[in-house]
Structure 1
Amino acid sequence: MLSNVIIAFVIPVLVGGWILRRNLNILLAFYPLGVATSSCVNNVGFNFFWNILPNTNNQSYAALPMDLGLYPMFGCLMIYAILEKGMKPWPTILASSFILTILEWIAKQMGRVIYFNDWNIYWTFLSYVLPFVLAYGYSLAFRKMFKDFK
């Protein structure tokens, strides 16, 4: 569990916080959305499609570092790249999803992630694309509501 905390929470929060330190608006607006979507996707996934180590009675506990660190911070960095660095949305969404899919594939190869009920790496990619599309749509709505948001 300590490795989950260090790799999936401490490192992403430190790196993401350092990158986003000058633009806290993105962090404040998108971090909660990332936590919410990550928690929802993982709760459904643990019941039907995957399991992660360490194996606990409550799998949400084992995924807490990812739900509070890696996934929401990655989403914030994706939005930062789109809004602040001017990157094109769709390639950025697909690249972000691909990077997270590769990280999960590595964890799967190491035996830290177990798939069942016909879940595979392609479905994993889709499970990252959909929340990132949601986050981008949220950013469009957010910018429409708050004209000075950037």
Structure 2
Amino acid sequence: MKMEDAMLFNIFFGFVLPWIILFVLWRKFPEVIILFVPLGIAIAFVSNDWGMNIFWYTEPYIEKNESLSAFPLNLGYFPLMACLFVTAIMKYQFSRITLIVFFTIFFSVVEYIALVFGRVHYLNGWDIIFTSGIYLAGFVITSVYANLLSKYKMLSLT
């Protein structure tokens, strides 16, 4: 896939499509979008800035700005993950631990599919188990933040 096509792929599937889904969620859960999109973006940028080109890189590889290919994902896909997680907490009566484990496994499988199709490449011994740990940490942080917002009556989780 040419670099331009690969980047258009990231923009569509990493940014445009997630924001279409976020817009649908906005109509029913605007507080989730307002409160958790910034958290999802922050978690994405921190983890990707920490690990990009040390432990992984995404296609297309852009030599002068290696993290540019993940930029649409940082602004769309990863915030969507946080919002879907909080929406599930609010909508379903599963235990928080069950939801954290489910979302960690689900999004690890999505990343594994990206790995198989060559959209993500691991370096220096990194593997899907380590990736799952990053996702687990992100969902735990999101859960703690949701509890904090609920405690201060800024978000109703029930």
TM range (shorter): over 0.9
What's the RMSD between the two structures over aligned residues? 1.3
The runs of at least 4 aligned residues of structure 1 exceeding 6 Å deviation read: none
Structure-1 residue corresponding to 2:24: 18
Residues in 2 aligned to 1:54 and 1:37: alpha-carbon distance in whole angstroms: 22
Structure-1 residue corresponding to 2:4: none
Residues in 2 aligned to 1:45 and 1:36: alpha-carbon distance in whole angstroms: 14
Shift of 1:74: 1.2
Residues in 2 aligned to 1:66 and 1:142: alpha-carbon distance in whole angstroms: 25
| Amino acid aligned to 2:56 | W
Task: Kindly indicate whether the alpha-carbon contact (under 8 Å) linking 2:57 and 2:120 is maintained by their aligned counterparts in 1.
Answer: yes
Shift of 1:60: 2.2
Is residue 79 of structure 1 aligned with residue 81 of structure 2?
A: no
Residues in 2 aligned to 1:104 and 1:130: alpha-carbon distance in whole angstroms: 16
Shift of 1:16: 2.7
TM-score normalised by the chain length of structure 1 = 0.93
- Which residue of 52, 68, 88 corresponds with 1:46? 52
Shift of 1:17: 2.0
Contiguous gaps of at least 5 residues in structure 1? none
TM-score normalised by the chain length of structure 2 = 0.89
Structure-1 residue corresponding to 2:128: 121
